[in-house]
Every structure is written in structure tokens, then in C-alpha cells.
């Protein structure tokens, strides 16, 4: 087995927790337990893959060497140029010059006692056993999948394939096995077709005789997967079509990056599913027409490409269908940008107002706290940024709409001020907060 699979399990699990709404109270302990599991296997250092998410969850603090006490400060200063690990396994990243201090480490405890970092949760940091860890993550992944987030399937599939391994690493056997009702409840969450599609890459991990391994509490764990696999063999053509459609979509995006829009549209047109084909053709068309705005006047798009009005019509049609939430959001954002590209600024502004009304209503359902404040700051800045980016400077009402603000969102000076307050309370989020403050400065300067 490749230990890259365990690294992927940890990465997908972290993303699932970070994107959950609300974020679970045990988020920091979940991350701590995930990396404890990974560190017992032959895996690389992967914290920086999900740096932003771990920072958001309070597991990772990015500190400059100057913020460390001695002797760690001197040790870190010597590693800044090339990167490396301190004696307690804290990593010094040469690209950012930051020390990656993780919750539960000796340096983290030392900095906590000194008041350099703050505890981000009222819950005490603790190591979760394998079943408790899976019970925390699987419901979040199941909810994400139900809302159309493919990463939910990635998380579920990896946990289905490697939960037995986590039990071995965690010391579970027939003598200290968890109750069968908990195992079955977890299996019901993990044993879904979308998860099996992911777990299929690790099918050998499921060919285990759990009785011989003294893990009879997992007997039958692999049966739902083998039943699904048998059913799939009778429907290989449909599965191959789905995989082929996914391949055509990936090739389309590659041609868009190369500005070869004729080939991008050709591959989008090969997609079998009607609505998926329309979505990809509209995306290719929008990308071409947006690119043309940067070219010499008179540059024409390929003849077979959808015209900009056809792109608009396509996104409008898709936006009215009962698509997964993620696909629907994609269509609506592209439709908004298409209206801007067409120069239909009243319609653009009307749709933006509608989208942000919905977003503010969803935001109001969040529990009070720093997570909600960060979401409000990000949403507020994006409101102004969309107007700033999509409306031309010669549009007479541009600054008027930006100055007007939006009910339920922060004004730019307030967003910047709150970023500064959060920065003082959460130095581990410095990179994100500084980026927000820079965006506020740019927009405030434009409105002067």
C-alpha cells in the first residue's frame, strides 16, 4: 500500500472539517488525531498542503523565528534559508520563513504557557481513538456529499478503505473492540456508491480476513463494497461513459489554459450527459469571450463556439434546474460574470444583489463567533471586489453602488478594523487577515 493514500485521507478529512458549517467543537483535536495517525506510518510532511485550513481550525500557527523563545529561536534562524525541522519536529518553511507550530507539540505547549499563541477552542486538546475520529468526520463528509461537494466522497471513500488500518494502528482488537452498533452506524455512513468509486483504487485493502487478524468486530466490513463492485461489472459501459465525460472535461480545461478555445469546445461537445455538456460548452465560450477583451479589437472567436448571448442563455437554463448545490453555484457565478461581459450592468447589479441577499441570509444562520466573523469579512470584501472587477470605470454608477454598501455586510473600513482586531487575537491567521486588509486598502483607495 502506498502511504500517499493515508496522506490523502488526512488531507481530505481536514478539508471536510474546515468547510463544515458549523465547524465541529472538536476540530483541533480531530486534526491532532489525524496527524498522530499519519505520523505512525511512513508518510511525508504534508501539513502545508492544507495550511490555510489548519490555520483556520487553530491546529497550525505560522510564526516567525523572532516570536520563538530560545533555544528554538536560534535553531529556527539557522534553518530559514533552506528549511528543516527543529528538534521537536516543528517544521521551518524556507518559502515563507515561518515556523509551522502544530497543536500538541512541545513548542506549542511552551508558547501557550508564554501567551504567544492562544487556545482557539474551549475544548481541551485530546487524542481521539480511531472510531471516535471517524465518527466525527464521516457525518460531515456525508453532509458535504449530499450538498454536491465531491470532496465528501473522497473523504468517505478513504475512510471506508482505511478505517480497518486505523484500528490496527490504534490498537483495537477483539479484546477491546468497540460496540457493534457503533461500527454498523459508521458503516452505514461510509458504504455509499460515491465512496466505493474512491475506495476502488485501494481494493486490495478490503481483501482481509478479519477473523484471522483477531478483528472479528469488523467482519463483513468489505461486503457492501464487493456487492457494489459486482453490480458495476454489469454496467461497465455506463461507468466508462462517466469516466470518459470526466476526461473530456479535464482536456477542455487544459485547452482553455492554452487559449485554444476551438479544441476546448470540441472536447466539451463530446460529453455525453446533456446538462454537463451544456455547462462545459458555456464555460469554454465564456472563457473565450473574456479572453477576447484582452486582445486587439477585431479578434474573432472560433466560428463553432457559443456566442456570448448563447452562453448567457445556457447558464440561465442551467441555473433553473435542480442541480447539485456546487454546480448550481458555479452556473450562477458564471451567469453573473457573463452579464458583466455583455455590458448589461443593470441586470448584473440586480443579480448580484439577489445572490448576496441569499448569502447574507445563510450567514445569519451561523452561530456567533470568530468563524462567522471571518465569513462575514470575506463575504463583505467579495461584494465590493465583484463590483470593482466587473463594472468598468466609465460606468457612472460604479462608485455609487460600491459606496452604498449592502445590508448585513460590513463596510470596508469596518472590515479592515475587524481584521486588525482579529489579528491581535489570532496571530496564527496573520497571512489571511493581512491579505484581507490589503484588499480593503485597494478598494478604499479606489473609492476616495
The percentage of the chain sitting over the pLDDT mark of 90, rounded to a whole number, equals: 69
- Residue 375: inside a domain, yes or no? yes
Residue 243's pLDDT is what?
80
Do 444 and 356 fall into the same domain? yes
- Residue 101: inside a domain, yes or no? no
Do 220 and 159 fall into the same domain? yes
Alpha-helical (H) ranges within 191-324 are: 193-199, 223-233, 236-257, 261-269, 274-292, 308-319
What mean pLDDT, rounded, does the chain reach?
Answer: 90
- Residue 64: inside a domain, yes or no? no
Q: At which of 297, 319, 342 does a domain end?
A: 342
CB of 284 closer than 8 Å to CB of 264? yes
Query: Residue 1 — very low, low, confident or very high, per pLDDT cuts 50/70/90?
Result: very low
Spatial separation of the C-alpha atoms in residues 167 and 175, rounded to whole Å: 13
192-207 mean pLDDT:
84
Spatial separation of the C-alpha atoms in residues 83 and 320, rounded to whole Å: 51
Residue 87's pLDDT is what?
83
Residue 178's pLDDT is what?
87
Do 173 and 50 fall into the same domain? yes
Spatial separation of the C-alpha atoms in residues 178 and 84, rounded to whole Å: 40
Do 318 and 370 fall into the same domain? no
Do 163 and 40 fall into the same domain? yes
CB of 158 closer than 8 Å to CB of 5? yes
Spatial separation of the C-alpha atoms in residues 283 and 47, rounded to whole Å: 33
Query: Residue 182 — very low, low, confident or very high, per pLDDT cuts 50/70/90?
Result: very high
Do 362 and 331 fall into the same domain? no
The count of other CB atoms within 10 Å of the CB of residue 33 is 25
pLDDT tens for each residue of 315-373? 999 999 988 888 888 899 999 999 999 999 999 999 999 999 999 998 888 888 888 89
All cell numbers assigned to 252: 477542455
Q: At which of 277, 307, 342 does a domain end?
A: 342
CB of 34 closer than 8 Å to CB of 8? no
All cell numbers assigned to 54: 489548519
Rounded to the nearest 10 degrees, how much is the dihedral formed by the CA atoms of 307, 312, 317, 321?
130
Residue 336's pLDDT is what?
95
Do 261 and 366 fall into the same domain? no
> How do strand 60-63 and strand 84-85 relate by DSSP bridges?
unpaired
- Residue 113: inside a domain, yes or no? no
Residues making up the chain, counted from first to last: 448
8-state DSSP, 45: -
Instruction: Specify the number of domains making up the chain.
Output: 3
Q: Output phi, psi for 316, to 5 deg.
A: -65, -45
197-217 mean pLDDT:
78
Q: Which of 122-136, 204-218, 258-272, 305-319 has the lowest mean pLDDT?
A: 204-218
All cell numbers assigned to 417: 478594523
Residue 303's pLDDT is what?
85
Report CA Rg, the chain: 25
6-11 mean pLDDT:
94
Which residues on neighbouring strands pair with residue 93, listed in sequence order? 98
- Residue 173: inside a domain, yes or no? yes
Do 359 and 333 fall into the same domain? no
Spatial separation of the C-alpha atoms in residues 126 and 345, rounded to whole Å: 53
Distance of CA 279 to the CA centre of its chain: 22
CB of 50 closer than 8 Å to CB of 8? no
Do 263 and 151 fall into the same domain? no
pLDDT tens for each residue of 11-28? 999 999 999 999 999 999
pLDDT of residue 137 exceeding 50, the answer is yes
pLDDT tens for each residue of 405-440? 999 999 999 999 999 999 988 888 899 999 999 999
- Residue 367: inside a domain, yes or no? yes
DSSP 284-309: HHHHHHHHHTTS-TT----TTSPPHH
Spatial separation of the C-alpha atoms in residues 331 and 316, rounded to whole Å: 8
- Residue 63: inside a domain, yes or no? no
All cell numbers assigned to 324: 447539485
Distance of CA 255 to the CA centre of its chain: 25
pLDDT of residue 2 exceeding 60, the answer is no
Do 258 and 280 fall into the same domain? yes
Q: Print the domain residue range for 402.
A: 349-448
Residue 93's pLDDT is what?
92
Spatial separation of the C-alpha atoms in residues 415 and 440, rounded to whole Å: 7
Q: At which of 342, 359, 376 does a domain end?
A: 342
Q: Give Cβ neighbours of residue 370 (< 8 Å, ≥ 6 apart).
A: 120, 422, 425, 426
Residue 212's pLDDT is what?
65
DSSP 343-359: T-HHHHHHHHHHHHHHH
The percentage of the chain sitting over the pLDDT mark of 70, rounded to a whole number, equals: 96
Do 257 and 175 fall into the same domain? no
Question: In the chain, what is the greatest distance between 2 CA atoms, to the nearest angstrom?
Answer: 77
Residue 317's pLDDT is what?
95
Do 290 and 146 fall into the same domain? no
Spatial separation of the C-alpha atoms in residues 155 and 159, rounded to whole Å: 6
DSSP SS3 for 14: helix
- Residue 102: inside a domain, yes or no? no
Query: Rounded to whole angstroms, what are the CA distances from 227 to 55, 202, 220, 236?
Result: 40, 16, 11, 15
Distance of CA 74 to the CA centre of its chain: 35
DSSP SS3 for 405: coil
How many CA atoms lie less than 13 Å away from 173 in the CB half-sphere?
Answer: 5
pLDDT of residue 205 exceeding 80, the answer is no
pLDDT tens for each residue of 142-174? 999 999 999 999 999 999 999 999 999 999 988
Amino acid at each position: 500500500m502506498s502511504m500517499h493514500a493515508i496522506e490523502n485521507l488526512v488531507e481530505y478529512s481536514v478539508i471536510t472539517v474546515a468547510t463544515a458549517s458549523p465547524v465541529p467543537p472538536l476540530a483541533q483535536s480531530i486534526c491532532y488525531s489525524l496527524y498522530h495517525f499519519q505520523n505512525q506510518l511512513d508518510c511525508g510532511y504534508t501539513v502545508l498542503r492544507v495550511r490555510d485550513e489548519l490555520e483556520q481550525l487553530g491546529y497550525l500557527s505560522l510564526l516567525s523565528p523572532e516570536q520563538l523563545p530560545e533555544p528554538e529561536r536560534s535553531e529556527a534562524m539557522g534553518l530559514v534559508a533552506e528549511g528543516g525541522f527543529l528538534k521537536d519536529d516543528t517544521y521551518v518553511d524556507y518559502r515563507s520563513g515561518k515556523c509551522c507550530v502544530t497543536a500538541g507539540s512541545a513548542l506549542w505547549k511552551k508558547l501557550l504557557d508564554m501567551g504567544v499563541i492562544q487556545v482557539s477552542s474551549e475544548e481541551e486538546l485530546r487524542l481521539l481513538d480511531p472510531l471516535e475520529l471517524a465518527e466525527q468526520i464521516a457525518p460531515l463528509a456525508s453532509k458535504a456529499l449530499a450538498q454536491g461537494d465531491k470532496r465528501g466522497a473522497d473523504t468517505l471513500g478513504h475512510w471506508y478503505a482505511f478505517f480497518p488500518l486505523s484500528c490496527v494502528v490504534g490498537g483495537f482488537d477483539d479484546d477491546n473492540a468497540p460496540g457493534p452498533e457503533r461500527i454498523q452506524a459508521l458503516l452505514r455512513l461510509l458504504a455509499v456508491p460515491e465512496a466505493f468509486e474512491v475506495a476502488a483504487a485501494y481494493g486490495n485493502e478490503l481483501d482481509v480476513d478479519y477473523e484471522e487478524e483477531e478483528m472479528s468486530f469488523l467482519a463483513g466490513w468489505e461486503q457492501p463494497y464487493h456487492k457494489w463492485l459486482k453490480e458495476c461489472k454489469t454496467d461497465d459501459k455506463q461507468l466508462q461513459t462517466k469516466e470518459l465525460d470526466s476526461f473530456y472535461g479535464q482536456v477542455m480545461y487544459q485547452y482553455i489554459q492554452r487559449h485554444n478555445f476551438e479544441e476546448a469546445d470540441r472536447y466539451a461537445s463530446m460529453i455525453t450527459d446533456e446538462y454537463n455538456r451544456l455547462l462545459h460548452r458555456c464555460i469554454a465560450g465564456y472563457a473565450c469571450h473574456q479572453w477576447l477583451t484582452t486582445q486587439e479589437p477585431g479578434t474573432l472567436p472560433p466560428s463553432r463556439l457559443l456566442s456570448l448571448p448563447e452562453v448567457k442563455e445556457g447558464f440561465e437554463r442551467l441555473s433553473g434546474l435542480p442541480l447539485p448545490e456546487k454546480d448550481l453555484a458555479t452556473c450562477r457565478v458564471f451567469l453573473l460574470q457573463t452579464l458583466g461581459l455583455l455590458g448589461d450592468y443593470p441586470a448584473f447589479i440586480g443579480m448580484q444583489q439577489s445572490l448576496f441577499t441569499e448569502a447574507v441570509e445563510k450567514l445569519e444562520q451561523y452561530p456567533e463567533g470568530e468563524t462567522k466573523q471571518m465569513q462575514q469579512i470575506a463575504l463583505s470584501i467579495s461584494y465590493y471586489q465583484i463590483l470593482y472587477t466587473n463594472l468598468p470605470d466609465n460606468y457612472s454608477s460604479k462608485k455609487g453602488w460600491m459606496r452604498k454598501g449592502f445590508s448585513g455586510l460590513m463596510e470596508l473600513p469596518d472590515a479592515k478594523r475587524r481584521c486588525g482586531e482579529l489579528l491581535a487575537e489570532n496571530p496564527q491567521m496573520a497571512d489571511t487577515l493581512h491579505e484581507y486588509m490589503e484588499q480593503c486598502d485597494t478598494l478604499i483607495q479606489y473609492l476616495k
